[in-house]
Amino acid sequence: MRRYHPIKRMLPLLLLAAATPAAASEVRLVPSVTVSEEVNDNIRELREGARTELVTRVQPGGQLSYRGPYTNLDVAYNLDYRYYARNTRDDELNHAASLKGALRLWDEFFILEASDSFTRVSLDLARDTVQESVLVNQADQNIATVSPFLTWRLGAKSVLQTGYRFSDIRYWSDTAIDKQVHAAFADYTHKFSERFEFNAGYHFSYTDTARTSYRKHELSTGLRYQYREKSFFYGGVGHSWLDFSNGLKSSDPFWNVGVTNDFDLAVATLESRVQYTEDPLTLSTKQTDYTFKLDKALERGRLWFSTGYTQYRVTLDATQDRKRAQVVLGGSHELGRGLSATASATGERLSRNSTTFNLPYHMVASGTLSYAMGEGMTLAGTYSHISYREEPGESAGSVEVNRGIVELRKVF
């Protein structure tokens, strides 16, 4: 399969448009640098033979934004140098970058959007190891997307968008699956009022990989209604049809429904969603989420609670299906001028259709103390305890990790 970067072709066009002189243009550049030291007593997250490591990180970077009469452009880049004092691995130079641009022509009738994202992701969709480790079960991911589309304004309250979208998805991993996706779409929106909106759409996509390919058709419809300030509900339903090159066919309903209500005491959100999620290790994974959230604002902080259940179903291999139940509790408080504290606890249980899988329970407790020193400089310290266990109350055969990080960040 021939590989190329569409962003490399579209970026010169966006930059040319951005460089056009205009009195209304606005440019903003924000450089930054972060230096941190991590102490980790089980850097590879092993049951036996835990190894303590000291990781020094230096991360210079910056953000550039441009706002013009025809073009928006946002660029961010971060270089991440890592030094492992006890030689767990060689020194590393990692990169994180993002680009988002939009070119609007003919009274915003024709719009060209382009984006590129290079970041580190977890290879296991059901467990995000990037948030708790610098090296376990991860790979670099790049997603480049180009989408030209037309915006048809059908009267004062109706809008129809028709267009094409190309995505190039690649990984720096021997086990992950690179993909190219060609898609066509038509999305219709009608506003009955400022608070009540109806939508409908049709999407077609063709996904190609070195292993196989498939075509997907989707039809959907939905609505959104805001019944008072900070309180609204939305609902959307649809159906998808997948046709794989190996002869397998799949037909499933999907939905996206939820309600958010402000009880004054706290804001509650209940929602459920079915979507096909980008999974590094599979061609097509259907993700079903059920979540409940509570968020309470305090005079000098906030409290939050969430619980959820997620099911991952791999279309071509039912043995890779996974189910995750999760509970999260946290809070933040401003202790004094520039000094704040945050604490959270997460517990989850992951089950798989596999006889070799163990340690289903995953628990994380963490706390952060942050001090804003002025002139864009912030000093923060974080401690985390991570545990993988067979049963919540049993430590035998478990994976235990203690992680401490001190970080100094300067924004210029």
Report if residue 115 sits inside a domain.
Answer: no
Placement of tokens 């864009």 in the chain: 376
- Confidence (pLDDT) at 321: 87
Tell me how many domains the chain contains: 1
pLDDT at 72 over 90: yes
User: What residues pair up with 295 in beta bridges, in sequence order?
Assistant: 267, 304
- Confidence (pLDDT) at 8: 52
**Which residue segment(s) compose the domain that 177 sits in?**
124-411
Question: Is residue 283 classed exposed, middle or buried when 0-12, 13-18 and 19+ CB atoms within 10 A define those classes?
Answer: buried
Question: Is residue 40 classed exposed, middle or buried when 0-12, 13-18 and 19+ CB atoms within 10 A define those classes?
Answer: buried
Average pLDDT value for the chain: 92
Report if residue 312 sits inside a domain.
Answer: yes
| Rounded distance between C-alpha atoms, residue 287 and residue 278, angstroms | 10
Report if residue 35 sits inside a domain.
Answer: no
**pLDDT confidence tier of residue 199, bands split at 50, 70 and 90:** very high
Report if residue 321 sits inside a domain.
Answer: yes
Tens digit of each residue's pLDDT (9 = 90 or more) over 340-392 = 999 999 999 999 776 555 789 999 999 999 999 989 999 999 999 999 999 99
pLDDT at 1 over 50: no
Tens digit of each residue's pLDDT (9 = 90 or more) over 37-68 = 999 999 999 999 999 999 999 999 999 999 99
Report if residue 86 sits inside a domain.
Answer: no
Q: What is the DSSP letter of 354?
A: -
Report if residue 53 sits inside a domain.
Answer: no
Percentage of residues in the chain having pLDDT higher than 70: 93
| Rounded distance between C-alpha atoms, residue 319 and residue 239, angstroms | 24
| Rounded distance between C-alpha atoms, residue 67 and residue 23, angstroms | 11
Q: Residue 306 maps to which CATH number?
A: 2.40.170.20
